[in-house]
Amino acid sequence: MKVLFIGDIVGNTGRKAVKTLLPELKSKYNPHIIIANAENAAGGRGVTAAIIKEFADLGVHGFTMGNHTWDNRDIFEWIDEEKRVVRPANFPPGTPGRGMTTIKANGKELVIVNLQGRTFLPAIDCPFRTADELLERAGKQSKAILVDFHAEATSEKIAMGWHLDGRASFVVGTHTHVQTNDDTILPNGTGYLTDCGMVGSKEGVLGMERDAVLRKFKTQLPVRFTVCEGKWHFHAVLVDIDDSTGKAVRIEKIRIREDEWIMS
């Protein structure tokens, strides 16, 4: 099974990049299942039902979220019914939505799990204990399991990779918007990448207008961040999963910059 995972899509610039590249990526890599992190897709904060439909129409099968899950309040109107979207599973019991779902496409089946870290982020329930509970259930449904760990600290992400080695097919980090160069297959067969990177403006700071970010750092005064509309860059990762074992067999990072890409 080939799974294409697209990193945090930031605002209109990121959505434009996905629209531009996804047809070519599908043709080149022939992924069976495509997953994207959509928590920044609407103006850099949250996502809307219309954006989910837009991406689904392009061929994205499932969506993960993160700490900006609730930034667009209309999400409360549709998240319970939208089975393609998972929000961090370690939000407290009773939180709308789901933290795990099963995606079926092109004759393949993949369980996706979303977790959120607690280091330098709001203190919610323990992601490690939540992972234990969900992967025990997920393992009874499918051998192929992808975990999006939306976390700030690299140490917490690496720890999660080791914690789930042999139980998940692929553990991929999101949230920090910078693609790391540490892709590996751990000893018990779990693929791992600390951060997939982002899809959005390469001319801003993590997708936001750089002047505002610089003003915040230099003055420490309140500043309103807006999405940068400059040229985009696109980060994703392709993982090959053995259908019979659920183990990762190959990982390929994808990094493409606007006006610098050629697809053959």
How high is the pLDDT of residue 157? Answer: 98
How high is the pLDDT of residue 140? Answer: 87
Q: What is the pLDDT of residues 125-184, one digit of tens each?
A: 999 999 999 999 998 889 999 999 999 999 999 999 999 999 999 999 999 999 999 999
Its pTM surpasses 0.85: yes
User: Given a cut of 90, is residue 85 above it in pLDDT?
Assistant: yes
Mean pLDDT of 57-64: 98
Which residues, other chains included, contact 260 with Cβ-Cβ below 8 Å and sequence gap of 6+?
none
Phi, psi (degrees; rounded to nearest 5) at 109? -135, 130
How high is the pLDDT of residue 124? Answer: 95
Band the pLDDT of 264: cuts 50, 70, 90: very low
How high is the pLDDT of residue 81? Answer: 97
User: Given a cut of 70, is residue 190 above it in pLDDT?
Assistant: yes
How far apart are the C-alpha atoms of 146 and 3, rounded to whole Å? 9
Buried b (16+ CB within 10 A) or exposed e, 195-223: bbbbbbbbbbbbbbbeebbeebeeeeeeb
> Annotated catalytic sites, by residue?
68
How high is the pLDDT of residue 260? Answer: 76
Q: What is the pLDDT of residues 90-120, one digit of tens each?
A: 999 999 999 999 999 999 999 999 999 999 9
Mean pLDDT of 77-100: 97
Q: How many CB atoms lie within 10 A of CB 163?
A: 18
**What is the percent of the chain where pLDDT is above 70?**
98
How high is the pLDDT of residue 262? Answer: 53
> Six-digit token pair at 187?
């000893």
CB 200 within 8 A of CB 17: yes
CB 112 within 8 A of CB 135: no
How high is the pLDDT of residue 261? Answer: 58
Mean pLDDT of 21-33: 97
Identity at 248, one-letter amino acid code: A
